Amino acid sequence: MSGIRTGGNGRSGAPGNGNGNSSSTGSGTGTGTGTGTGGHRALVWRGLPERPGAAVLVLHGGQEHSLARPGPVNLAGLRMAGFVHALRRETEGAGVAVGTVRYRHRGWNGERADAAKDAIAALDDLAEELGPVPTVLVGHSMGGRAALRVAGHPVVTGVVALAPWCPAEDPCEQLADRDVLMLHGDLDRVTSPAGTRAFAARGRAAGARVCGYTVLGTGHTLMRRINDWHRATARLSAGLLGLRDLPPEAATAFALPSHSTAALDLPLPRYPRTAPPAERPSRPLPTDA
């Protein structure tokens, strides 16, 4: 494989102008200074190459209901720091911008869907700064729900959902023509593994290419087999961007017909520290779920 994918929807993967925002140019890791509606900046860059040709956005978990603002010590956000590090390491030198979504509120808050609104704002800012670069969303728990909800955004080509919160009433039509990888621990008692599998089947029926993994022996916090969670997420995200081959089982799952319910409960293999080098291009949620 040789180059960043544009996805199956025909969107351009041309690099952006590399300007970013004033505090995150080059290979910096600072947060942006721009602000969105109401003075809130949803997009925070964690790694921004000079001329990005693709992007990954990471969305952390939250609560079912809370209008409180996330504090400076945010366990759900800190949980994703290792994922950001793994993603940056995996995509180093490949022209991939890595960012996180900063929420205005801790909760989803029913029909308000606040986390999804912030995700849309971050994607709009990303598209304005970088252009229509192919973008993968990585979301945990409530962040997984938000990532799946906003996958219809024009720049999104794929989603990696980690122990996502998937209510039966959530829509799937926005996933059409997207690549979706869903990972859930079999010991999760916060969000439902069965709910994830049901959502994955509905997503495939709606036109998404879907592969589902069960991370055996793990629960909702992702702490057990944490290295497998980190490495799998980074390498699968790179695969969705075309920087490395997807695992054979994922490629096979993506090729299955829309009515198939196969390959939605595959055991996630152990991910060793070393891997073949990636090809480089020229039920209700508790607090801080």
CA distance 137 to 243: 16
**Amino acid identity of 192?**
S
Query: pLDDT value at position 280?
Result: 53
Q: Which residues in the chain belong to E strands, given as ranges?
A: 43-47, 54-59, 96-101, 135-140, 156-162, 179-185, 209-215, 266-267
228, containing H or E segment: helix 226-240
Query: pLDDT value at position 282?
Result: 41
Query: pLDDT value at position 57?
Result: 98
Token match 């950001």: residue?
84
Is 151 in contact with 129 (CB distance < 8 Å)? no
Buried/exposed 233-256: b ≥16 CB within 10 Å, e otherwise: bbbbbbbbbbbbebbeebeebbeb
Query: Where would I find the H helices in 60-158?
Result: 75-79, 81-90, 114-130, 142-149
Instruction: Report, in this order, helix, strand and coil percent for the chain, each rounded to 5.
Output: 30, 15, 55
CA distance 111 to 116: 10
Task: Find, among 162, 166, 176, 170, the residue nearest to 206 by Cα.
Answer: 176
Q: What is the pLDDT along the chain (289 residues), one digit of tens a residue?
A: 436 765 444 333 333 333 333 233 333 334 443 455 568 999 999 999 999 999 999 999 999 999 999 987 889 999 999 999 999 999 999 999 999 999 999 999 999 999 999 999 999 999 999 999 999 999 999 999 999 999 999 999 999 999 999 999 999 999 999 999 999 999 999 999 999 999 999 999 999 999 999 999 999 999 999 999 999 999 999 999 999 999 999 999 999 999 999 999 999 999 998 777 665 544 444 444 5
**Amino acid identity of 135?**
T
